[in-house]
Structure 1
Amino acid sequence: MDFSEFGENIRDFFSQRQKALLISSILGIFFLAALLAIVFIPQKKDVPNATFRSEPLEADQELLFPQGVSIPQEYAVSRQTEDKWSDSQVHEWLTLPDQEAVKKLSAANDSLIKSITEAAP
């Protein structure tokens, strides 16, 4: 038997039985995947249940707490706030805008609103 004839016989075999070869190769791949899964997936091992002591735990040394940040005595952690500001607080912390600043703010807001409404469909 010649090698060329042997190759021709193999080509004829594969060309005539394509569907059977496809099904058998898919089954072979599934079988191989199942075999690998069985071999490499670890089996569940029996873990012994934890046993708990019935007697309470007794410390043999005193517990040591970590040192925290020391707060000076004069430091106020919280304070009582008043319902209203006094006149001196209003003058210290609040500045009333003049008419020119209000007009500039109004113009800036109007231009922003106009650009938004122009872009709307």
Structure 2
Amino acid sequence: MPKRIHILEDDKDISYIINYLLKDEGFELQLSASFAELKEKIKDGLPDLFILDVMLPDGNGADICEDLKTDLFTKHIPVILMSASSVNKEKSEEVFADDYISKPFDVDFVLTRINKILNN
């Protein structure tokens, strides 16, 4: 059974690249462009991994990560935060993120990080 990854990314180009890369690797994907959309989609089933952008139109990915990591139903699910700001790397540790990816990113690097988390 393929692993399901939920990607919360409001930049359509980045979302497209990640979607293309991960589908090609056999992952099942859920894509959201806002926190409200993520909340609706996870009602259909929880993913094996969340990848969250930090800067979002209706919230902050770091705050969303903290909510997911302190919620009884989602705290066991790994979270990767992505951001173009180096300040958010420190913040990712404070909100219990399992990993952090700086933008712009190398697609092979992203795939390596995802596989490392999902194969633990």
Q: How would you bin the TM-score normalised by the shorter chain?
A: under 0.3
Q: Which structure has the greater CA radius of gyration?
A: 1
Q: TM-score w.r.t. structure 2 length? A: 0.14
More helix by share: 1
Structure scoring higher RCO (CA < 8 A, sep ≥ 6) equals 2
Q: TM-score w.r.t. structure 1 length? A: 0.13
